[in-house]
Structure 1
């Protein structure tokens, strides 16, 4: 029986902490259990491991990599205890665009997005632009587009934490309540729809991750900029569809 939803994270702490908050208000299906584990490497490392070996099972690969850790968390152990992929209904992989890292490659990412394009099959790759801290990057509930220079991404985390660049109400995800989540969802879905559909309004349907990436490539990356978008609201819209707006 497919009674588990699997979240796979690039980072060890940040995404886990955000999900602690998110899971208070979302992904609470009575017949589903949320399993989350940290891969510990960027998306391009996953590409090298998985895309080049198309016969590799994602769950088995994750088990192999996680079992190598010197310290296994409670969440990691829950994944290791899964008996097989058939017990998982949906897989979401949360990674950063991370274009400043040494093995970053847009062509590789495009191939990964083509492979991981269905949460109920191989899994759905959910990209934060430029990184997970983009969830903080808004000053209010006004859904305006924000761009950031690619050449300055190494300092992006500190930039978002500086006064004036993001409202303090979004800084501590441990304090996110449903109202804050509603604002984050509203702003990021507007931003994504503006990028893909060129209309600053809520999307009428869940936006494809490939479409978002292709729009970044066409509109902003050539000019060394990136449009700020968090992956978590996009994932929730994909999971719930229009019913997401009834929950917020």
Structure 2
């Protein structure tokens, strides 16, 4: 059983389920999807409260505690009787750096220290879990100013404190009006609805188009991750060269020092690593 923990409950599940249908249907059969519905700093705070870092509990305990007060039903989580029943854990959260103010009490250094601690803790999917981070948030998946493949993607940056305005920035700058170039719609049961043509038959041409877009997005993000880490614009031969902690450290030393963030999405990186 594989546990996927997403920050949001709309875009991330749709991206994952589309990606699974196109590339992972033979690899992943038994999975559970849970939306945390809060940000990465809230996750850190809850883990501290429950002494997860000290070994008193695990991420399943965090989920159960968090979802007690959630308005959303997570029947899937009831399938998890214990952490022993889970073989792999993956977490997907936004970077979403915030300025210190009356609402956010954390400095930039404090926020980055928390994320680094989380990345060091969640560094293995078969143990405590593996954390993937979107820079600055999941909407980076559509930040292409040209029709794919957009080779200029390697240079795209945004302001370090862009916050929620990044959604508007992505919508304004993207060649694609929505996420349908890379995702299938979900039905009421949150399962994918495959596109159909005018004859109400599964549209294989449209499915292949989405798959082609995914391959472009995957390659562009992998190359960019390698560029961020090693200043090389190519797909690395060894996947660990672009691990999440390495990407994070390079974001700090190469981009945040200029008050910028290199736009990068984690779903293609997960796909790259999972298929290797």
Same fold (TM over 0.5): yes
Normalising by structure 1, report the TM-score.
0.87
Which residue number corresponds to residue 181 of structure 1? 214
Gaps of 5+ in 2: 185-208
Gaps of 5+ in 1: 242-248
Q: Find the aligned partners of 1:95 and 1:39 in 2 and give their Cα distance.
A: 9
Measured against aligned partners, the alpha-carbon deviations of 1:103-162 in whole angstroms (never above 9, x if no partner) come to: 560011111111111111111110000000000012321333211112434311011111
Q: Quick one: which of 137, 140, 145 aligns to 1:134?
A: 140
Residue 36 of structure 2 is aligned to residue 39 of structure 1:
yes
Which residue number corresponds to residue 258 of structure 2? 223
Q: Find the aligned partners of 2:62 and 2:244 in 1 and give their Cα distance.
A: 23
Measured against aligned partners, the alpha-carbon deviations of 1:28-47 in whole angstroms (never above 9, x if no partner) come to: 23673121100111111111
Cα gap change, 1:170/1:205 in structure 2, threshold over 3 Å: closer, same or farther?
Answer: farther
**Kept in 1: contact 2:171–2:177 (CA 8 A):** no
Cα gap change, 1:209/1:31 in structure 2, threshold over 3 Å: closer, same or farther?
Answer: closer
List aligned pairs for 1:20-169, cutoff 5 A: 20-29=17-26, 32-51=29-48, 53=51, 54=54, 55-72=56-73, 76-100=74-98, 102=104, 103=106, 105-138=111-144, 139=146, 140-144=148-152, 145=154, 146-162=156-172, 165-168=173-176
Larger Rg: 2
**Kept in 2: contact 1:130–1:228 (CA 8 A):** yes
Aligned length: 233
Which residue number corresponds to residue 226 of structure 2? 193
Q: Find the aligned partners of 2:229 and 2:48 in 1 and give their Cα distance.
A: 26
Which residue number corresponds to residue 194 of structure 2? none
Normalising by structure 2, report the TM-score.
0.78
